[in-house]
Structure 1
Amino acid sequence: MSNTVIENLEKIKAQVAGLAEEAEQLGKLPDETVRLLKGSGLTRMMQPKEYGGIESTPGEYIEAVMAAGALGCSAAGWVGGVVGLHPWEVGVMDPRVQEEVWGTDQDSWIASPYVALGRAKRVDGGFRFSGRWTFSSGSDHAEWVHLGGLIEDANGEVTLGADHHFLIPRSDFQIVPDSWDTVGLRGTGSNDLIVDDVFVPEYRVLEYATVVDGTAAAKVGKADNPLYAMPWFTLFGNAVSATVVGICEGALAACVDYQRERADVFGTKITQDSFTLPSIGEAASEIRASRLQILDNVNRVYDVLAKGGTPSLALRAESRRDQVRASWRAVAAVDSLFARTGGNAIRSDKPLQRLWRDAHAGLNHAVNLPGPTYQVAALSLMGFDPEGALL
Structure 2
Amino acid sequence: MHEVNERVEKLAARFEQQAVQDDDAGRLTDETVALMRSAGVVRLLQPREFGGYEATPGEFYRTVMALAARNPAAGWVGGVVGIHPWELAFSDPRLQRELWGENGEKADTWISSPYAPNGRARKVDGGFLFSGRWPFGSGSDHCDWAVLGGIVTDDAGNVTMPPDMRHFVLPRADYEILQDSWNVVGLAGTGSKDIVVKDAFIPEHRTLNAHEVAEGILAERHRPGNPLYAMPFGVMFSSAISAATLGIAEGALAAFLAYTRQRITIVGSRAAEDPHQLTGLGEAAADLDASRTHLLATMDRMYEDVLAGRTIGIEARAEARRNQVRASRRATDAVDALFRRAGGGSLRLDQPLQRHWRDVHAAMNHLCNVADSVYEGWSRDQFGLPAGIRVLV
Please give the per-residue CA displacement for 1:276-295, whole angstroms capped at 9, x wherever unaligned.
10100100010111101100
Which position in structure 1 is the counterpart of 2:190?
A: 188
CA contact (8 A) 1:52 1:106 kept: yes
Report the secondary structure of 1:47's partner residue.
coil
- Identity of counterpart residues, as a percentage? 47
Which position in structure 2 is the counterpart of 1:216?
A: 218
Q: CA deviation at 1:3?
A: 2.2
CA contact (8 A) 1:245 1:330 kept: yes
Residues 120-131 of structure 1: pairs in structure 2 closer than 5 A: 120-131=121-132
Which of 89, 92, 95 lines up with 2:93 in the alignment?
A: 95
CA contact (8 A) 1:120 1:127 kept: yes
Please give the per-residue CA displacement for 1:236-279, whole angstroms capped at 9, x wherever unaligned.
11110000000000010010011112121111212221111010
TM-score, normalising length: structure 1: 0.97
Q: CA deviation at 1:230?
A: 0.8
Which position in structure 2 is the counterpart of 1:76?
A: 74
Residues 114-263 of structure 1: pairs in structure 2 closer than 5 A: 114-159=115-160, 160-220=162-222, 222-263=223-264
CA contact (8 A) 2:139 2:190 kept: yes
Which position in structure 2 is the counterpart of 1:23?
A: 22
**2:10 is equivalent to residue 11 of structure 1:** yes
Q: CA deviation at 1:215?
A: 2.0
CA contact (8 A) 2:246 2:291 kept: yes
Q: CA deviation at 1:162?
A: 3.5
Please give the per-residue CA displacement for 1:224-244, whole angstroms capped at 9, x wherever unaligned.
111101111111111100000
**Equivalent position amino acid for 2:51 in 1:** G
Report the secondary structure of 1:336's partner residue.
helix
CA distance in 1: counterparts of 2:75 and 2:387, whole angstroms: 33
Which position in structure 2 is the counterpart of 1:49?
A: 48
Which position in structure 2 is the counterpart of 1:319?
A: 320
> How many residue pairs are counted as aligned between the two chains?
388
CA distance in 1: counterparts of 2:388 and 2:350, whole angstroms: 48
**Equivalent position amino acid for 1:240 in 2:** I
Please give the per-residue CA displacement for 1:301-335, whole angstroms capped at 9, x wherever unaligned.
21111111111211110100110011111011000
**Equivalent position amino acid for 1:8 in 2:** R
Q: CA deviation at 1:355?
A: 0.8
CA contact (8 A) 2:135 2:193 kept: yes
CA distance in 2: counterparts of 1:351 and 1:274, whole angstroms: 23
Compare 261-270 and 380-389 and name the one that shifted more.
380-389
Please give the per-residue CA displacement for 1:91-124, whole angstroms capped at 9, x wherever unaligned.
0101111111111411000000000000001111
Which position in structure 1 is the counterpart of 2:31?
A: 32
Q: CA deviation at 1:387?
A: 3.6
CA contact (8 A) 2:373 2:391 kept: no
CA distance in 2: counterparts of 1:31 and 1:53, whole angstroms: 22
CA contact (8 A) 1:110 1:142 kept: yes
CA contact (8 A) 1:215 1:223 kept: no
**Equivalent position amino acid for 2:372 in 1:** G
**Equivalent position amino acid for 1:18 in 2:** Q
**Equivalent position amino acid for 1:282 in 2:** E
**Equivalent position amino acid for 2:144 in 1:** E
CA contact (8 A) 1:92 1:216 kept: yes
Which position in structure 2 is the counterpart of 1:110?
A: 111
Which position in structure 2 is the counterpart of 1:58?
A: 57
CA distance in 2: counterparts of 1:285 and 1:216, whole angstroms: 40
Which position in structure 2 is the counterpart of 1:345?
A: 346
Please give the per-residue CA displacement for 1:181-214, whole angstroms capped at 9, x wherever unaligned.
0000000010000001011000110011111122
Report the secondary structure of 2:208's partner residue.
strand
**Equivalent position amino acid for 2:97 in 1:** E
**Equivalent position amino acid for 1:356 in 2:** W
Report the secondary structure of 1:56's partner residue.
coil
CA contact (8 A) 1:313 1:385 kept: no
Which position in structure 1 is the counterpart of 2:372?
A: 371
Unaligned 5+ segments in structure 2 are none
Report the secondary structure of 1:116's partner residue.
coil
CA distance in 2: counterparts of 1:227 and 1:390, whole angstroms: 22
Q: CA RMSD in A?
A: 1.0
CA contact (8 A) 1:119 1:151 kept: yes
CA contact (8 A) 2:377 2:388 kept: no
CA contact (8 A) 1:110 1:146 kept: yes
Which position in structure 1 is the counterpart of 2:278?
A: 277
Distance 1:390 1:163, change over 3 A: farther
CA distance in 1: counterparts of 2:131 and 2:37, whole angstroms: 31
**Equivalent position amino acid for 1:265 in 2:** I
CA distance in 1: counterparts of 2:178 and 2:111, whole angstroms: 17
CA distance in 1: counterparts of 2:179 and 2:190, whole angstroms: 14
Report the secondary structure of 1:200's partner residue.
strand
Distance 1:200 1:390, change over 3 A: farther
Please give the per-residue CA displacement for 1:20-58, whole angstroms capped at 9, x wherever unaligned.
111111100000100100111111011000001000111
